[in-house]
Amino acid sequence: MRLAVQRVPHFVGALILAISAGCASSGDPLPSWNEGVAKTALIDFVAAVTDEGGEDYVEPSERVAVFDNDGTLWVEYPMYTQFLFAMDRVKALAPEHPEWKTKQPFQGVLEGDLEAVAASGMKGLMEVIIETHSGMTAEEFEAEVSNWLATERHSRFDRPYTELVYQPQLELLTYLRSNGFKTFIVSGGGLAFMRPMTERVYGIPPEQVVGSSIVTEFELKDGQPALVRTPKLAFVNDKAGKPVGIYDYIGRRPILAFGNSDSDMQMVEYTIAGEGRRVGLFVHHTDADREYAYDRESHVGTLDKALDQAQARGWIIVDMDRDWGTVFPAR
């Protein structure tokens, strides 16, 4: 008996060693991705660009991967998170803005008349964003955003928005970084709205976030130097603005681009057009049970032309229902 007892630990130890070795050499880096075209394409791509002897090898410094945010890394349905934040800000700031009571789309927001809000079009929506995102210092705005993200919850899933990120994408970001990639967000969303959470949630530091911005001014406030956010648009990092944002902020053409809507087409097109091996992907929201199903006719994240052109252009459509074994991280 004593002999047997002494031997069990050795046997267990050897087994653990064998399992660990197996994980390190052949473990699945993307466990939430189902086997299929998309997963195979990603793993083959990473293997090819990191194979030092291979013809597709890419130096680590050039391994730039860009991801859209809304609908690609986190939920954007039924409404972009930043716009929900802006609507809450309208309500909070209303006492200081009596004129909003009779001015669309602010009136619509205050009265819960979302049709009136929608009727104001993109111009109206931008006005709501700009008015509610300016008139304070950079630090004050960051505190507002952090506080809102910490307390508000998604209407359907009853979880904070920062938990409604896609588990397969978290795995992909980690997988890319462990293979020498730098991962960037390239989103139409506001820089200052995203940055308070990207490092904690995605492991992407603020300086690797590219987004839309308003004009900020440096001034002395109560004798202290401060950055004050003004109600003036500086840059819209959307559609044809995305490759421009990539050039201005990153300064290198990516080799992997991941989006989910027609607004990401130019980013993917620009990425793919570079020399050497490249890959472009789109999330297709096909999963009404676990998340949402929307595409061509959707009011957010419209995916129409990109669906039509994907096959001819070699873009990969990631079908959420088919390709993702898990959607959200476990609670």
Q: Cα(first)–Cα(last) distance of the chain, in Å?
A: 44
Asked if residue 43 lies in contact with residue 29, where contact means CB atoms within 8 angstroms, the answer is: yes
Give the Cα separation of 265 and 262 in Å (integer).
5
Give 297's DSSP letter. Answer: T
The DSSP code sequence of 118-174 is HHTHHHHHHHHHHHHS-SSBHHHHHHHHHHHHHH-B-TTT-SBGGG-B-HHHHHHHH
Asked if residue 73 lies in contact with residue 169, where contact means CB atoms within 8 angstroms, the answer is: yes
- Comparison of 167 and 174: residue with beta carbon closer to a second copy: 174
Torsion of CA 234, 237, 242, 247, to 10 degrees: 40
**Among 213, 207, 280, which Cα is nearest to 249's?**
207
Residue with token string 């300016």: 134
CB count within 10 Å of CB 101 equals 11
Contacting positions for a second copy (CB under 8 A): 61, 138, 182, 184, 191, 195, 199, 205-209, 213, 216-219, 224-225, 227, 234, 240-241, 243-244, 247-252, 266, 269-270, 273
Task: State both tokens at 261.
Answer: 């809507």
Interacting residues of 303 by C-beta distance below 8 A, sequence separation 6+: 260, 261, 262, 282, 284, 285, 294, 295, 296
Give the Cα separation of 282 and 274 in Å (integer).
18
